[in-house]
Structure 1
């Protein structure tokens, strides 16, 4: 019941009822990533490209899409990662979503959320002062 109410009244939590209906009518499931996001394809865009979309596992946050699926979603490649042997290079780090606004966000020394004093500015930077 809770999931039904969330789909009726929120757009940021999973999928809306309109998206569910559109996916049921037009969508062909292409694959799923390691975060549980499900990718679909079906129909055509106004540019003549196949329409592609994702149903997020949880909150709709675009940074949850990993690099391999991002290329497919934005028509950089026609082959989804499920149909090719995609292997990350040794220099690639594992995907992490955007942590802005969460407790895991980066907070530099001297910010409001981190106690301590902000480091002094060094180098050729001169702070602006009124009247100069």
Structure 2
């Protein structure tokens, strides 16, 4: 949550349209410079002057069904402050699409109906106890 003065200052900087977009999807207003765009269309921003130390970097996802697996590993490292330079400026992270990577995003299906569930063909080692009651 931000203060009224910070919210009004960001409203002046980003405009009404972007203000409504950020309030709907982020829940807060942020003003910063565009650092880069990844191959999925996500936009990455940074503001080092006025934000708190951990809130200086953020992402605007292209898909509105927000999932953290939508950001690439290099951009994830940059967002989490593991590296100082973004992947579009770092020589090691500019390797591009590797042959084992999928060309489009595959969502993380954990905790959904499409999640992987292994099927066991082994007989269980423990069986449930069935009480036997004798007639009186």
The TM-score bracket by the shorter chain reads 0.5 to 0.7
- Which residue in the other structure is 1:54 paired with? 59
Task: Write the deviation string for residues 45-72 of structure 1: whole angstroms up to 9, x where unpaired.
Answer: 2xx3561111111121111111111100
2:46 is equivalent to residue 41 of structure 1: yes
Q: How does 1:46-125 map to 2 (within 5 A)?
A: 48-49=53-54, 51-58=56-63, 59-85=65-91, 86=93, 87=95, 93-94=100-101, 96-100=106-110, 101=112, 103=114, 105-109=115-119, 118-121=120-123
| Structure 2: stretches of 5+ with no match in the other structure | 1-18, 131-136
RMSD: 3.5
Please point out which of 11, 16, 23 is paired with 1:16: 23
More helix by percentage: 2
More strand by percentage: 1
TM-score, normalization by structure 2: 0.57
| Structure 1: stretches of 5+ with no match in the other structure | 1-6, 9-13, 110-117
TM-score, normalization by structure 1: 0.59
Q: What is the number of equivalent residue pairs in this alignment?
A: 103
Report the Cα distance in structure 1 between the residues aligned to 2:32 and 2:61, rounded to whole angstroms.
Answer: 15
* CA apart distance, 1:83: 1.1
Report the Cα distance in structure 2 between the residues aligned to 1:34 and 1:82, rounded to whole angstroms.
Answer: 11
The structure whose Rg is larger is 2
> Contact 2:43/2:59 (CA < 8 Å) preserved in 1?
yes
